[in-house]
Amino acid sequence: ERLAPRPHVVLLASPGAGHLIPLAELARRLVDDHGFAATLVTFTDLSTAEALSGVPACVATAALPAVPLDDLPAGTSMETVLFELVHRSLPNLRAILRSVGAPLAALVPDFFCSAALPLAAELGVPGYVFVPSNLTTIALMRATVELHDGVPPGEYRDLPELLCLPGGVSLRRTDLPRSFQSSNEPVYAHLLEEGRRYRGADGILVNTFYELEPATVEEFKQAAGRGAFPPVFPVGPFVRPSTSSDEAAGASACIEWLDRQPTGSVVYVSFGSGGSLTVEQTAELAAGLEASGHRFLWVVRMPNLDGNDGHDHEDKQNPLAWLPAGFLERTADKGLAVAAWAPQVRVLSHPATAVFVSHCGWNSALESASAGVPIVAWPLYAEQRMNAVVLEGSVGVALRPRARERGEIAAVVKELMEGADKGRAVRRQAGDLQQAAARAWSPEGSSRRALEQVAATWKKVTLAEVK
Ligand code: UDP
């Protein structure tokens, strides 16, 4: 008897390792746990080349050919370039979809690629959006579209200072990602368009888990019930496994150093793959860490020079050269500063690591949650301030310094490391969240069941087609 071919899911990742890694993990789950074949489609772009090397072997990959974008005016925002890139790549994506081999079970573009959803409709398969970020982001998109398309049409600028999203997360205007703050922002129109398309998706898969955003998940359930929004499935956390590139980048030095530190004694400091501090912030952070008296592992990136070009100085090509004079010498017995990169997942799960000073990128937040490490929130840009609000306010696993000034930084680090009151509550909450994250993927766990439900729906559709 001939084996029926596995139903095939095609997933589309927008450029950027932070988008690709969780989508690859989703693809792996679909293959390993649910018997699908999966192809991960990416755009030809350098930043993902390294991440691609970490895609599990059971997931096929396909790269969309480059499309010309040189007609876009100089200075076009990165987001606009991205949206154009997706639109212009649709014919190539259609060709890939037609060639992967039947039966096609579903198309899953990530949140910046929802322009691909009409292709799912065209081919008669379910189209689900994958959100590598949290559900609060989608609540914001949804609320923005509802406001804008409401009667009378409006936007956040017109609302009171404290904005309450569906599900109850309250944001100050300054916590909103900049592109949402006003319709004058060049990307606002794109976000609206994207948000409107979400409403046409068959479902939304989100890299979060129930216990992280319970009220928001419940609110979305109700919205789906009354047909106001597609069903939402929290299927995370998808945390990247450590990769071979970690090893290459001096990973062992970090781990060997951590091995020599006492359990629960180290503050890990990192601002993700794109974040950088100003020279002044670097100095305040250094002084704050030193004043806290605690051990630290600091991933130092080149500072943000805001046009003051220090790159001319040859001796300043190394990020460590921007640390305050004498800092490394004075802290040699307490701290390790590494340039640019550390094997973060391994660092966070190391028993010596106790606290994470983080920019609150969503992958970092999930990695921290999975390791039970509380956070000193230091958001920099994009949706990071909003993530910090979720982590500090609703989840209670983070503290945010009131000012980025040495005394305040030292105080917050000490509170999280040793505080008997507030610090202890946050540490305990981080431990509880770690257990919840592990439970989400246990046999009866919320994320596992949510993905099972989705997989069952896709299979039903495919079977009906094959018959
Ligand atoms: N990362 C790492 N080492 C570093 C800095 C970052 O391994 O020194 C990884 C981190 O584990 C996470 C990703 O890079 O998986 C950063 O993603 P996130 O969403 O936190 O922030 P972004 O880089 O997108 O701002």
Q: Whose CA is nearest to atom 6 of ligand 1?
A: 272
Residue 242 pLDDT level (bands cut at 50, 70, 90) = low
- What pairing do the DSSP bridges indicate for beta strands 170-172 and 162-164? antiparallel
**Can you give the pLDDT at residue 312?**
56
Provide the pLDDT confidence category of residue 301 given band limits of 50, 70 and 90. Answer: very high
Tokens of 179: 């592109």
Which whole number is the average pLDDT over 61-68?
94
Ligand 1 centroid – CA 363 distance (Å): 6
Residue with tokens 């590494």: 338
Average pLDDT, the chain: 92
Nearby residues of 387 by Cβ (< 8 Å), 6 or more positions away: 133, 134, 136, 360, 361, 362, 365, 379
3-state secondary structure of 454: helix
**Cβ neighbour number for residue 432 with a 10 Å cutoff:** 15
Between CA 321 and CA 199 the distance in angstroms is: 49
Q: Which of 29-38, 153-162, 313-322 has maximum average pLDDT?
A: 29-38
Q: What integer pLDDT is reported at residue 77 of this predicted model?
A: 85
Residue to probe by mutation, ligand 1, list 359, 363, 383, most atoms within 8 Å of CB:
363
Is the pLDDT at 113 greater than 90, yes or no?
Answer: yes
- Judge whether 133 and 238 are in contact, CB under 8 Å: no
SS3 helix, strand, coil % of the chain, rounded to 5? 50, 15, 35
pTM of the model: 0.94
What pLDDT does 340 receive?
84
| 418: exposed, middle or buried (Cβ count in 10 Å: 0-12, 13-18, 19+) | middle
Whether the pLDDT of residue 270 is over 70: the answer is: yes
Please report which confidence band the pLDDT of residue 249 belongs to, taking 50, 70 and 90 as the band edges. Answer: low
What is the CB < 6 Å shell around ligand 1? 18, 240, 270, 272-275, 299, 341-345, 361-364, 367
> DSSP letters along 252-308, please?
HHHHHHHHTSPTT-EEEEE-TTT----HHHHHHHHHHHHHHT-EEEEEE-----TT-
Spatial distance between the Cα atoms of 51 and 152, rounded to a whole number of angstroms: 45
- Residue 311: predicted pLDDT: 54
Q: Chain-centre distance of CA 315, in angstroms?
A: 34
Determine which residue's CA is closest to atom 7 belonging to ligand 1. Answer: 344
- Identify any residues that bridge with 127 across adjacent strands, giving them in sequence order: 107
Residue 173: what pLDDT? Answer: 86
340 Cα nearest atom in ligand 1: 8
Coil/strand/helix, residue 267:
strand
Q: What is the mean predicted confidence (pLDDT) over 239-255? A: 70
The catalytic position among 34, 45, 110, 359 is 110
DSSP label at 394? I
465 has a pLDDT exceeding 70: no
Beta bridge partners of 137: none
> Which residue has 């600091």 as its token pair?
298
Give the 3-state secondary structure of residue 107.
Answer: strand
Candidate of 273, 338, 391 to mutate for ligand 1, largest count of ligand atoms within 8 Å of Cβ = 273
From CA 29, how far away is CA 393, in angstroms rounded?
31
Instruction: Give yes or no for residue 199 having a pLDDT over 80.
Output: yes
* β-bridge mates for residue 43, sequence order: 64
The secondary element (H helix, E strand) that includes residue 428 is helix 422-440
Identify whether the C-beta of residue 175 lies closer than 8 Å to the C-beta of residue 392: no
Distance 357 CA to ligand 1 centre (A): 13
- Kind plus residue range of the DSSP H or E element containing 396: none
Average pLDDT over residues 27-47: 91
List 61's β-bridge partners, or say none: 40
Which two tokens mark 279? 């020279």
What DSSP designation does 467 have?
A: -
| Section 41-53 average pLDDT | 79
Question: pLDDT, tens digit, for every residue of 223-233?
Answer: 999 999 999 99
Summarised one tens digit per residue, pLDDT across range 360-377 is 999 999 999 999 999 999
What pLDDT, in 10s, does the model give residues 134-182? 999 999 999 999 999 988 888 888 887 888 998 989 999 889 998 888 8
Residue whose CB lies within 8 A of the most ligand 1 atoms, among 344, 350, 384, for a mutation test: 344
pLDDT for the residue numbered 313: 60
Q: Which amino acid is at 390?
A: V
Nearest alpha-carbon partner for 454 in 17, 128, 23:
128
Nearest to 112 by CA among 209, 181, 20: 20
What's the confidence (pLDDT) of residue 245? Answer: 56
Q: What percent of the chain has pLDDT over 90?
A: 76
User: Strand 353-358's sheet: what is its strand order?
Assistant: 335-339, 295-300, 266-270, 353-358, 375-377, 398-399
Active site residue 313: no
**E strand or H helix that includes residue 423:** helix 422-440
The average pLDDT across 420-447 equals: 97
State the pLDDT confidence band at 315, using cuts at 50, 70 and 90: low
| Amino acid at the residue 198 | Y
pLDDT band of 24, cuts 50, 70, 90: very high
pLDDT confidence of residue 317? 84
Neighbours of 328 (CB within 10 A): 16
CA 437 to each of CA 131, 152, 204, 237: distance values in angstroms, whole numbers, following the listed order: 18, 42, 20, 7
3-class secondary-structure state, position 157: helix
Q: Could you read off the pLDDT of 376-403 as tens digits, one per residue? A: 999 998 899 999 999 999 999 999 999 9
Q: What does the pLDDT average to over 70-82?
A: 90
Active site residue 19: yes
Give me the amino acid identity at 328: L
